[in-house]
A and B are shown apart, each in its own frame.
Chain A
Amino acid sequence: MAELKKGAEPEGAEPTDATPNVTEVETVDVATPEEAVAVIEAPAERGEPILQVRNLVKHFPLTQGIIVKRQIGAVKAVDGISFDLYQGETLGIVGESGCGKSTVAKLLMTLERATAGEVFYKGQDITKLSGRALKAVRRNIQMVFQDPYTSLNPRMTVGDIIGEPFEIHPEVAPKGSRRQKVQDLLDVVGLNPEYINRYPHQFSGGQRQRIGIARGLALNPEIIICDEPVSALDVSVQAQVINLMEKLQDEFNLSYLFIAHDLSIVRHISDRVGVMYLGKMAEIGSDEQIYDHPTHPYTQALLSAVPVPDPEAREGRERIILTGDVPSPANPPSGCRFRTRCWKAQDKCAEEVPLLAIPERFAGQDTPAAHESACHFAEEKDVVHAA
């Protein structure tokens, strides 16, 4: 059977603690695909890291020429990010368009091949898996897509869409039981089980997203990666879907990686939050650390720019309005990627890439500001609460 390679230290600490988010990976050596599948199928303990991402890199080559292709550069969509996802928690990833958050989702789903780096699922590097072991991983990591209008095949019935996972993984449900399973899933996500023969275009956006969630749940996965799952929905329907996702998390003991640009929703649903900027993680910590005690200037600017539906709270808040746009990921600035828009930038920022670590000035202190932030001049600043 599988053998633990590095000393197994019982990791019982709550993920929300101000511990470094990146723990040592316990890789598991397996000799055969059967063993790998067994490791993947073994249930994870609550509070254990279930997914560990290490120095993940994805560069999309920019090529020129039609027949003979020549690489002239690369879009550095994801440029070395590391984080852990613990069993049963929700990790929020926020950032603006082009920061690489959706590419992270695709890499974790093995829909894109990573340029470099590792993704460990229960100690197995999924970027190197293939065949049966990869299929087993895919069963356990599912995805909910952003746009409920494009993520469901318009020519399949709802029953076929939700039942497709069972056809691809026939071992999960015997043939005779599938229809019942699909109806149960519809019921779980709050849709009428009699709608099994309808087509996606007969449903509204919120209902379609419920169908997408039911498809994600079908194989009873451990992790669901949600890529902007509510941003295409009407405000009054967003809350329904968020509540449903929270209910399902408790019911099925799921871990969520929740990718979104809406910082309010991410705070609501996440236990921990990572802030991405131009393919790098700028800051990561518990929701309280990030929202109430941000230390990275980008996080502070992002939070202060969020329009708050409360004109009075608004007036007391400091607003940081950044100048300019996000630079192109094909040609990111040297040193700190945020320096071109940062009001604190100094020469050092252009020369040295700041590492994602607990800033020295807070190290060892018992303060919520002591969480990882990739800034040379990290300091705490509350931009969310009225002064």
Chain B
Amino acid sequence: MPDATKTTAAEAVAETPVAAKVVDGGEASGKPRSLWGDAWRDLRRRPLFVISAALIVVLILVAAFPGLFTDANPESGDLQNHFLEKPNLGHFFQADWFGYDRQGRSIYARVIFGARNSIMVGLGVTILVTAFGGLVGMLAGYFGGFWDSLLSRIVDVFFGIPFLLGAMVVLNAFTDRTAMVIIGALAFLGWTQIARVMRGAVITTKHADYVMAAKALGAGTGRILFRHILPNALAPVIVVATISLGTYIVAESTLSFLGLGFGNDSFSWGSDISDALNDIRNNPHTLIFPAGMLSITVLAFIMMGDAVREALDPKLR
């Protein structure tokens, strides 16, 4: 602000109109902008994010409403007319678009219906793993000492079990392998990664000055954990969860491929890939389409995770 005694007309012009009361602390810049909001604005401008988000939206639609995308029945085969029929790539969204398999079933329909199980397993495992692993990691990181030692040793034990091998052993015990069973088995073996990430993030955050400030105000443990620590420790967890969603889908397909996932009465890209193996030289289309869908899905989640990581990385701010 200029010296009041020297106010002139020209100065009034030069002065930008200040709507708000000007105080000695000076002006802050711009509109309210939260860190999450900033990250979101940043994400929207990343092509990587836009592409992966579009893919994921389509995949979720496919999983939720497969009927919108095809009216062919993925289960009824017509051996007489369609045995291993080659794809008709011009017939968009038609039953014969991707051709037929050796049981005369529409591959397009099977790919569409297979999405539901893959997405459901991916999402389900991620939600369980994030909730349980996140909780364990948070408690171990925050309380430290004995609880940390105990929980960390348990995490180490689980970490020592090879993920796929463990899942095969567990699933082998079940004859009726529904989606819930598969989700449960994968989550049971997969929560340790999130727990570790969360523990590390919480340990870093709990020493922050603002946590100290909240304690000095007399804040209780719940408020400190959920108001101050969790929102600030969440970023790396979100990144890991997004990326591992893709790997859970791979795991489900692998298990189905090996015959330990979804059975023949259900749909899975993995079991379709397994079926295709018999004759891939002559009929590559039976492999290419389910495998391609699987790859695109996994890629979409991993790309999303990468984009989110870059947007949330505080070092780039």
Contact = CB atoms under 8 A, between A and B. Distances in A.
Interface of A: 66-67, 106, 109, 111, 134-135, 138-139, 142-143, 145-147, 150-157, 164-165, 167-169, 187, 189-195, 197-199, 201-204, 206-207, 210, 212, 215, 219, 240
A190 B217 contact: no
B214 interface: yes
A62 B201 CA distance: 24
Contacts of A106: 212
Given A151-B212, A164-B217, A203-B28, 17 more contacts: A135-B218, A145-B213, A153-B214, A153-B232, A154-B35, A155-B231, A164-B219, A164-B227, A168-B218, A192-B21, A192-B25, A193-B21, A202-B30, A204-B28, A207-B25, A207-B26, A215-B217
A210 B217 CA distance: 17
B218 A199 contact: no
B35 A143 contact: no
Chain B interface, >50% SS class: loop
Given A155-B35, A199-B33, A150 B26 contact: no
A147 B219 contact: no
Scoring A152, A193, A201 by chain B CB atoms within 10 A of each residue's CB, the highest score goes to A201
Scoring B210, B220, B228 by chain A CB atoms within 10 A of each residue's CB, the highest score goes to B210
Given A155-B231, A199-B32, A199-B34, A240 B212 contact: no
A153 B28 CA distance: 17
B24 interface: yes
Interface string B247-285: 000000000000000000000000000000000000000
B35 A138 contact: no
A129 to B, nearest CB: 12
5 contacts: A135-B218, A189-B25, A198-B32, A202-B33, A207-B26
B213 A143 contact: yes
Contact of A111 (B21, B32, B215, B223): B215
A154 B210 CA distance: 9
B27 interface: yes
A198 B209 contact: no
Interface in B1-53: 20-30, 32-36
A109 B21 CA distance: 36
A96 to B, nearest CB: 21
Nearest to A218: B217
Given A145-B209, A198-B28, A191 B20 contact: no
Contacts of A154: 35, 210, 232
A190 B25 contact: yes
Contacts of B317: 201
Contacts of A206: 25-26
Interface residues of B, number: 35
Contact of A168 (B33, B36, B219): B219
Nearest to B205: A153
Interface of B: 20-30, 32-36, 149, 208-210, 212-220, 223, 227-228, 231-232, 317
A339 to B, nearest CB: 34
Contacts of B149: 66-67
B24 A190 contact: yes
B209 A150 contact: yes
Contacts of B28: 192, 195, 198, 202-204, 207
A226 to B, nearest CB: 12
A40 to B, nearest CB: 13
Contacts of A142: 216-217
Contacts of A197: 32
Contacts of A210: 25
A207 B32 CA distance: 15
A150 B210 contact: yes
A111 B216 contact: yes
B217 A165 contact: yes
Contact of B26 (A193, A204, A212): A204
A240 B26 CA distance: 11
Contacts of A153: 210, 214, 227-228, 231-232
Contacts of B219: 164, 168
Given A155-B231, A198-B28, A169 B23 contact: no
A167 B213 CA distance: 14
A150 B34 contact: no
A192 B126 CA distance: 44
A135 B213 CA distance: 14
B212 A155 contact: no
Contacts of B209: 145-147, 150-151
Given A150-B209, A151-B209, A154-B35, A143 B25 contact: no
Nearest to B37: A199
Scoring A106, A169, A195, A219 by chain B CB atoms within 10 A of each residue's CB, the highest score goes to A195
Contacts of B228: 153
A378 to B, nearest CB: 37
B213 A151 contact: yes
A118 B105 CA distance: 82
Scoring B27, B29, B33, B34 by chain A CB atoms within 10 A of each residue's CB, the highest score goes to B34
A194 B32 CA distance: 10
Contacts of B36: 155
A247 to B, nearest CB: 11
A170 B25 CA distance: 29
A64 B21 CA distance: 58
Scoring B24, B217, B227 by chain A CB atoms within 10 A of each residue's CB, the highest score goes to B217
A343 B192 CA distance: 58
B216 A143 contact: yes
Nearest to B207: A150
B26 to A, nearest CB: 6
A102 to B, nearest CB: 11
B261 to A, nearest CB: 39
Contacts of A187: 23
B200 to A, nearest CB: 17
Nearest to B314: A154
A105 to B, nearest CB: 10
A190 B20 CA distance: 13
A138 B210 contact: no
- Which 10 pairs from chain A and chain B are nearest by CB? A151-B209, A138-B218, A190-B25, A191-B25, A150-B209, A197-B32, A153-B210, A190-B24, A155-B231, A198-B32
A138 B20 contact: no
Nearest to B213: A151
